[in-house]
C-alpha cells in the first residue's frame, strides 16, 4: 500500500513503479569503441564529441561519462540550456556552446560556468569583448551559410581582439563526393593565416572519413558516435549503440474486411491474428516509418499494419503465432542500415526518441 500522505503529495516511491512496456538499451561499450575508432581515424587530430540534443536523444547522463572515460576531453552543445547536464560530468572549460552569445546574460552565464562560447558574428564578438572577453572559439563560414563570420571579416578589429582557442568551420557536403569539401578546407586554412588561434577544427563524422587533410587539430563527430555511418569509409569501424524493444499489449483475431487503426489504412483480406504494441510516434517511431516497415522477434518479421498511432502500432503475427501479451519485440533502430530508415534520416531517428524511451 502507498502511504496516503505520500500519495496526496505525489511522492510515490520509485520501487513501486511498475516496469515499463518500452525499453531502450544503450551499448556503452559500442559507444566507447566508436569514439576510439573515430579518434584513431582522426590521425594526429584529437576527436571531440557532439553531445547536443541530449547526446542525440540517448541521454547526456548515459553518454558523456562513457565518452569522458574513453578519452574525450572536448564536448559540443548547441544551447546554453544544454550545458548543465554536460558539466555534471566534465569540467565546463571542456564544453563549447555552438550558438554563441546573443545577450549579456549569455556572456555572464559563460563566465560564471567557465564554458566556452563559439563566436559566430562580429556582433557576438563585440558583445563578448564588451564584457571582458576571454577564451572563446570562432566559427568561420566557408560555404554552408548558417553560422559564422565571413572570411572577409577575418581582419576586423573585434575578431583580431578575441582570445581564440579553436578556429572552426563546418562542412556542408561531407557525406558526398563534392568539390566544396576541399574548397572549404582551403578557405579555413586561409582564415587560419589571418586570425590568431590555438587549434583548428573542420571535420564532423563524415568529414573524418575524408582523410587527414580535413582533420586539422580537433574533429567533431556526432552521428557516428551513436551508430550512424554517413560515409562508406566508416563501415566496419562503427557499431550499433541503441537497441529499442516494445511489449505486446493485446492480441486479437481479425476477420476479412476488418480495418486497423486510423482512417482504415489497412483492411484485412483474410483471417489474421495481430498484436498491438507499446510504441508510437510520441516515442520517435514516426508515421513515416509505418508503411512497409516491420518489428522483429528474432529472425521473424512482423509487418506494421495501418497508421502508427501516438502510443501504439499494430503488427501482423502470422509469423509468430506463439507470441502473446507481454512478449517483447525489437523495434529496428540500427541507424547505419539505410534500408530500414524509410523517409527518415539517421539524425532524425536518434533525436526524435521520446521521453518515455530512456535508458533504465
Q: Which residues are designated catalytic?
A: 52, 262
Q: Are 39 and 71 in contact (CB under 8 A)?
A: yes
Any residues with CB less than 8 A from the CB of 13 and at least 6 apart, and which?
A: 2, 6
How far apart CA 230 and CA 224 sit, in angstroms, is: 7
Q: Hey, is 173 helix, strand or coil?
A: coil
Q: Which cell is 161 given?
A: 581582439
- Cα distances (Å, whole numbers) of residue 244 to 24, 157, 329, 332: 5, 52, 9, 7
How far apart CA 328 and CA 141 sit, in angstroms, is: 47
How far apart CA 344 and CA 55 sit, in angstroms, is: 18
C-alpha distance across the termini of the chain, in Å: 24
For the beta carbon of residue 251, count every other beta carbon within 10 angstroms: 15
Amino acid at each position: 500500500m502507498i502511504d496516503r500522505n505520500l500519495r496526496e503529495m505525489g511522492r510515490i516511491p520509485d520501487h513501486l513503479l511498475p516496469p515499463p512496456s518500452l525499453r531502450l538499451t544503450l551499448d556503452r561499450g559500442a559507444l566507447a569503441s566508436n569514439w576510439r575508432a573515430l579518434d584513431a581515424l582522426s590521425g594526429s587530430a584529437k576527436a571531440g564529441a557532439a553531445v547536443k540534443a541530449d547526446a542525440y536523444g540517448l541521454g547526456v547522463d548515459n553518454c558523456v561519462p562513457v565518452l569522458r572515460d574513453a578519452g574525450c576531453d572536448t564536448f559540443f552543445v548547441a544551447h546554453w540550456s544544454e550545458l548543465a547536464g554536460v558539466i555534471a560530468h566534465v569540467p565546463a572549460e571542456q564544453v563549447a556552446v555552438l550558438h554563441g552569445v546573443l545577450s549579456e546574460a549569455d556572456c555572464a552565464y559563460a563566465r560564471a560556468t567557465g564554458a566556452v562560447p563559439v563566436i559566430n558574428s562580429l556582433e557576438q564578438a563585440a558583445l563578448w569583448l564588451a564584457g571582458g572577453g576571454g577564451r572563446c572559439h570562432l566559427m568561420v563560414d566557408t560555404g554552408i551559410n548558417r553560422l559564422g563570420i565571413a572570411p572577409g571579416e577575418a581582419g576586423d578589429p573585434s575578431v583580431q581582439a578575441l582570445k581564440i582557442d579553436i578556429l572552426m568551420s563546418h562542412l556542408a557536403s561531407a557525406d558526398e563526393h563534392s568539390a566544396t569539401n576541399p574548397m572549404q578546407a582551403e578557405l579555413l586554412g586561409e582564415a587560419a593565416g589571418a586570425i590568431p588561434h590555438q587549434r583548428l577544427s573542420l571535420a564532423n563524422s563524415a568529414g573524418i572519413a575524408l582523410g587527414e587533410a580535413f582533420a586539422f587539430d580537433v574533429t567533431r563527430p556526432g552521428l557516428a558516435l551513436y551508430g550512424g555511418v554517413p560515409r562508406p569509409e566508416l563501415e566496419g569501424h562503427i557499431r550499433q549503440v541503441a537497441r529499442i524493444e516494445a511489449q505486446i499489449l493485446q492480441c486479437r483475431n481479425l476477420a476479412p474486411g476488418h480495418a486497423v487503426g486510423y482512417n482504415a489504412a489497412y483492411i484485412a483480406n483474410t483471417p489474421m491474428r495481430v498484436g498491438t504494441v507499446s510504441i508510437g510516434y510520441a516515442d520517435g517511431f514516426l508515421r513515416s516509418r509505418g508503411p512497409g516497415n516491420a518489428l522483429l522477434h528474432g529472425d521473424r518479421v512482423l509487418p506494421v499494419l495501418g497508421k502508427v498511432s501516438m502510443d501504439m502500432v499494430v503488427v501482423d503475427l502470422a509469423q509468430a503465432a506463439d507470441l502473446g501479451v507481454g512478449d517483447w519485440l525489437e523495434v529496428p533502430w540500427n541507424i547505419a542500415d539505410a534500408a530500414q530508415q524509410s523517409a527518415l534520416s539517421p539524425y532524425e531517428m536518434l533525436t526524435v526518441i521520446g521521453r518515455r524511451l530512456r535508458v533504465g
